[in-house]
Chain A
Amino acid sequence: MIDPTILRLTVRQLLGQRRSIVMVLFALLPVLLAVLYALENDSSDAQGWTAKVALGGLVIGLVLPFTALVFGTAALGQEFEDGTAVYLLAKPIPRATIVFSKLVVAWAATTAVVVVSAALTGAIGLSGEPGEGIIAGFVAAAVVGSLVYCAAFLWLSIATSRALIVGLLYVFIWQGVVVSLFSGVRYFSISQYALGIAKAFITAPDDIFDPRLNVAPAVLFAVLVTVGATWLSVRALQRWEIGEAT
Chain B
Amino acid sequence: MTQESPAVEVDHVSRWYGNIVAVNDISFALNGGITGLLGPNGAGKSTLLHMLAGFLRPSAGGVRVLGEPAWQNPAMYRRIGLVQERESVYPFLSGYEFVLDSARLHHIAEPEKAALKAIHMVELESAMSRATGGYSKGMKQRIKIAAALVHEPQVLLLDEPFNGADPRQRLQLMDMLRAMAKEGRTVVFSSHILEEVERLADDVLVIVAGRLAASGDFHEIRKLMTDRPHSFFLRASDNRRLAASLVADASVYGVELAGDDLRVSTSEFASFTQAVAGVARRAGVSIYEIRPTDESLESVFSYLVKR
Contact = CB atoms under 8 A, between A and B. Distances in A.
Q: Max chain B CB contacts within 10 Å: which of A5, A90, A239, A244? A: A90
Q: Max chain A CB contacts within 10 Å: which of B53, B78, B81, B90? A: B90
A241 B105 contact: no
Contacts of B144: 87
A87 B55 contact: no
Contacts of B147: 87
A92 B78 contact: yes
Interface residues of B, number: 32
B88 A90 contact: no
A184 interface: no
Q: Max chain B CB contacts within 10 Å: which of A238, A241, A244? A: A241
A91 B106 contact: yes
Contacts of B196: none
Interface string A232-246: 000000111110101
A241 B55 contact: yes
Q: Max chain B CB contacts within 10 Å: which of A3, A86, A88, A92? A: A92
Contacts of B101: 5, 8-9
A89 B56 CA distance: 12
A5 to B, nearest CB: 4
Contacts of B77: 90-92
Contacts, number: 74
Nearest to B53: A90
Contacts of B57: 239, 241
Given A12-B90, A12-B92, A84-B89, 5 more contacts: A83-B84, A84-B88, A86-B55, A87-B147, A92-B77
Contacts of A3: 105
Interface string A34-76: 0000000000000000000000000000000000000000000
Contacts of A87: 88-90, 102, 144, 147
Given A83-B84, A87-B102, A93 B74 contact: yes
Contacts of A246: 84, 86
A13 B74 contact: no
Contacts of B80: 90
B2 interface: no
A128 interface: no
Contacts of B53: 90
A10 B75 CA distance: 22
Interface in B91-134: 92-93, 101-102, 104-107
Contacts of A92: 74-78, 106-107
Contacts of B148: 90
A114 to B, nearest CB: 25
A92 B80 CA distance: 10
A5 B90 CA distance: 13
